[in-house]
Amino acid sequence: MILLIQNIEDYNNDFRVSLQAFYGGERIIVPEIFEKKPELKREVDKVFAADIREQSIEIKMYAGTLEDDGKAELAEAVIDAVISGEKPDEAPVCSSRVDIDGDSRDKAVVRNPLKLAIYEMLSAYTGRTLPWGSLTGIRPTKIAVAQIEDGEDRESVISNYINVYGTSRAKAELAFDVAGREKMIIDSVAEEDEYCLYIGIPFCPTRCLYCSFTSYPLAKWANRMDEYLDALEKEIAFTAEACKHKVLNSVYIGGGTPTTLSAEQMDRLLTMIGSYFGIADEQGRMIYADEHVNEIDVIDEVQNPMDGAGTENALTDADSKMEKARKQTQLLEFTVEAGRPDSITREKLEVIHRHNISRISINPQTMKEETLRLIGRQHTVQQTIDSFKLAREVGFDNINMDLIVGLPEETIEDVRETMRQLEELDPDNITVHSLAIKRAARLRMQKEQYENLHIENTAQTIDLTAECCHEMGLEPYYLYRQKNMAGNFENVGYAKPGKAGVYNILIMEEKQTIMALGAGATTKVVFEDGKRIERVGNVKDIINYLDRVDEMVERKRELLKNCGQL
């Protein structure tokens, strides 16, 4: 347990995330807690103290001596002395000082050198280097994108990562390469009058051991899923009307597991989206930007109507129909996360394909049977293979597969075998996630039950997945990080040329508004030329969502008004 002591709390979050990068999973407390729980003082084995002065910040770490039983105990006298501002009898195990040319409370100036100092201090003390250095944010490529936009060349961008953040050269090069691919898509679509749509289906066959998403067991909610779609329709109707002056360029249906919906329910949802947002033809097939509208055919249809109504106002009708058709053709991508192989059927895939959905995801996470059982997934490796082949047979030509490295009890050889099997399937996208154990995951909440599980992610494993993806003709196109990641690595999306996920890039780089519907979904409005972002979230609990969906609509209405978007 780590005791965090600071005389000013301006950098509280920076201290915490820097400590978590080295001591992930350890509890961080502050002295005030001893007033209610004095017994916790006996569990403190490290004290991190920060003394923030006008033009300098001093940081020190005190640590207990490791005993024979493997526990490190820190004398309470040391803890009391540091809390009171006195000099303890014991010297700190490591320390550093940041001198500031200006005001120490100027975060824009101080944050990066302070976090680098903490990183270098803890790295020297622990003997560990972290691949991303002092970077703890979830979007490390934003730095490279900004520098590229400012005209910086490859080497200057890479040097900035290394010198300012202590990033390894390999990760700096990865960030630059991904940023370049991201920027090409961002430049073509990320306009303030464009937006993305996210729809969450928060149901799963079972809940995975590591999962922290809004997700509920299908067996309990199966008889209320139509009611959930009713609530979604209210949000869909409002959003389509509120954003009618904007261009919808990407739709993503995620979860949970969207294919927990029946084929009929999936058909209803896709029909609603296509109809309300005007992005589908009369057969309910989504229309994309590369599907050009024949103006002669449109005018001919209006002038020669099937019902024999004549040609009065034909030109006006044709103009109206062309305007709608042009709006329809702005859609770049529509993704449905098919997700769990045990929720996929031919009937569901045929419904999705009939609506001309451009991209689906089938997510095995691993191709090792024992791991699937351990993490709570009920499907088999063969079901993954069968589902993928079925999707190809139905006609899908852009299929993503999600993997997680660092899963309990898995070795690099297990990952190698997973990659070998995926190479045989030849997916169009592979997204490689590093295991991140968040507070809401069973693996964290019931950690005593799982404390003997071996969880490890190494640079060699990450490099292996990158090499395998490259050999399959897949290149990295988006990247993000999460707190509490095994090995302090990253998640990377790989894709074949022309198959990159537009939505994934836009949500990571925060260049465009994301209207998010469904339980637990968070809407982000980007405005003032990308300089400001405001958020509003829906309630996570499904009962609350069903009862309060009108309130969720009003939250969005208020947000859009406040941002000058309505």
Between 299 and 266, the higher pLDDT residue:
266
pLDDT at 310: 44
What span, in angstroms and rounded, lies between the C-alpha atoms of 65 and 235? Answer: 57
Beta bridge partner(s), residue 359: 335
Q: Which amino acid is at 66?
A: L
Between 443 and 355, the higher pLDDT residue:
355
What span, in angstroms and rounded, lies between the C-alpha atoms of 495 and 399? Answer: 10
For 400-419, what is the mean pLDDT? 93
For 252-268, what is the mean pLDDT? 95
Between 319 and 245, the higher pLDDT residue:
245
For 2-21, what is the mean pLDDT? 94
Instruction: Give residues with Cβ within 8 angstroms of 48, minimum separation 6.
Output: 2, 3, 4, 5, 15, 19, 59, 60, 61
pLDDT at 190: 65
Between 454 and 117, the higher pLDDT residue:
117
pLDDT at 79: 93
Phi, psi of 385 (to 5 degrees): -60, -45
pLDDT at 192: 73
Residue 171 pLDDT exceeds 50: yes
| Cβ density class 508-537: b for 16+ within 10 Å, e for less | bbebbbbbbbbbbbebbbbbeeeeeeeebe
* Residue 29 CB coordination number (10 Å): 16
Between 66 and 523, the higher pLDDT residue:
523
Task: Dig out the tokens for 361 from the structure.
Answer: 């995801």
211 pLDDT tier (thresholds 50, 70, 90)? low
Between 220 and 263, the higher pLDDT residue:
263
- Determine the straight-line distance between the first and last CA of the chain, rounded to whole angstroms: 49
pLDDT at 437: 57
Q: Which amino acid is at 233?
A: E
What span, in angstroms and rounded, lies between the C-alpha atoms of 376 and 386? Answer: 20
What span, in angstroms and rounded, lies between the C-alpha atoms of 155 and 168? Answer: 14
For 321-341, what is the mean pLDDT? 74
560 pLDDT tier (thresholds 50, 70, 90)? very high
Q: Quick check: bond before 256 cis, omega within 30? A: yes
* Mean pLDDT of all residues belonging to the chain: 87
pLDDT at 454: 66
Residue 430 pLDDT exceeds 50: yes
Question: Exposed, middle or buried, 233 (CB in 10 Å: 0-12/13-18/19+)?
Answer: middle
Residue 443 pLDDT exceeds 60: no
Lowest mean pLDDT among 29-33, 95-99, 207-211, 513-517: 207-211
* Residue 147 CB coordination number (10 Å): 19
Q: What percent of the chain has pLDDT over 90?
A: 67
Residue-wise pLDDT tens digits, 294-321? 443 443 444 444 444 444 454 455 555 4
What span, in angstroms and rounded, lies between the C-alpha atoms of 145 and 157? Answer: 9
pLDDT at 307: 43
328 pLDDT tier (thresholds 50, 70, 90)? very low
pLDDT at 4: 96
For 100-119, what is the mean pLDDT? 93
**Please, what sign has the CA dihedral across residues 12, 15, 18, 23?**
negative
Residue 324 pLDDT exceeds 60: no
pLDDT at 298: 41
What span, in angstroms and rounded, lies between the C-alpha atoms of 144 and 88? Answer: 44
C-alpha to C-alpha distances, 299 to 286, 312, 327, nearest whole angstrom = 21, 13, 17
292 pLDDT tier (thresholds 50, 70, 90)? very low
481 pLDDT tier (thresholds 50, 70, 90)? confident
What span, in angstroms and rounded, lies between the C-alpha atoms of 434 and 482? Answer: 9
The answer to whether residues 289 and 332 touch, using CB atoms and an 8 Å cutoff, is yes
What span, in angstroms and rounded, lies between the C-alpha atoms of 565 and 138? Answer: 27
Residue-wise pLDDT tens digits, 445-457? 344 554 567 667 7
The answer to whether residues 46 and 66 touch, using CB atoms and an 8 Å cutoff, is no
Residue 46 pLDDT exceeds 70: yes
Between 188 and 103, the higher pLDDT residue:
103
For 475-497, what is the mean pLDDT? 86
Residue 138 pLDDT exceeds 90: no
Task: Dig out the tokens for 60 from the structure.
Answer: 């020190």
Single pTM value for the model: 0.85
Residue in 141, 158, 253, 150 with CA at minimum distance from that of residue 196: 253
Residue 219 pLDDT exceeds 90: no
Lowest mean pLDDT among 55-69, 110-124, 315-329: 315-329
For 533-537, what is the mean pLDDT? 96
